[in-house]
Amino acid sequence: MFTGLVEIIGQVSDYSSQDTTESGGNGVSITISKAAEILGDCHLGDSIAVNGTCLTVTEFDKDSFKVGVSQETLRKTNLGNLKSGSYVNLERAVTSDVRLGGHVVQGHVDTIASIVSRTPDGNSIVFEFELRDKKFINYIVHKGFIAIDGTSLTVVDVDYKLSRFKIMMIAHTQTRVILPQKAIGDSVNIEVDLTGKLIERQIEIQLQNQLQNENSALQKLVSRLIDEKLAKLKA
């Protein structure tokens, strides 16, 4: 679990599409340098969020660490667009003594979005994004939390028809994350707030249980509406 409070910005020093070393696992691997600040207590197998994507450390030294990337992760995220020299947001998994200053972030990216616009507003910047997978707009609400490239941010506007939303980034945050370095059209990783998914699932379960129970209020309502509709068709 993560907080969405980016600790440092690291830099990709190597991107391998077929890493045959033991730590590479014969797959895609990414080595990230300039990470000494978060590696003092690092162990093999630790989780580090890279642009909001929870990845496992397979190799590390004082300044850099390597992670493996699955094909599923490449499909869901923008990590496949990284190359040597790319900057990335980094955050270690939380421990019991970490203050939760952002919001609960799993590091499980739902989809990507493209930057539609960026507009100065005083010393802040308003960013607008459009989702690649439109269905996730249903989990985004005004003043709700969202993780963008692993950064916990607050939604300030939502357009459900266009599957777009906006956030405002203050000057302090602009110097500590990679989003201000990106241009219109660039992609970002999106993780919607887990709360909405949990509520939706609980509602689905309750509706399924009621529909399966012949004596439930919902089942009686559905039966009555069907009977009324059939009566009108016969009239």
- Taking phi over 0 as left and psi of -120 to 50 as alpha, with beta for the rest, 138 belongs to alpha
Percent of the chain whose pLDDT exceeds 70: 95
Average pLDDT of span 203-223? 72
Which pLDDT score, from 0 to 100, does residue 118 have?
A: 97
Which pLDDT score, from 0 to 100, does residue 235 have?
A: 63
Nearest CA-CA partner of 46 in 109, 104, 92: 92
Residue range 58-87, pLDDT digits in tens: 999 999 999 999 999 999 999 999 999 999
Which pLDDT score, from 0 to 100, does residue 2 have?
A: 94
Which pLDDT score, from 0 to 100, does residue 39 have?
A: 97
Residue range 142-177, pLDDT digits in tens: 999 999 999 999 999 999 999 999 999 999 999 999
Which pLDDT score, from 0 to 100, does residue 218 have?
A: 64
Q: What does residue 166 show for φ and ψ, rounded to 5 degrees?
A: -125, 150
pTM (predicted TM-score) = 0.84
Which pLDDT score, from 0 to 100, does residue 137 have?
A: 96
Which positions ≥6 away from 83 have C-beta within 8 Å? Answer: 12, 15
In which band, very low, low, confident or very high, does the pLDDT at 211 lie, cut at 50, 70 and 90? low
Give the β-pairing of 53-60 and 164-169. Answer: unpaired
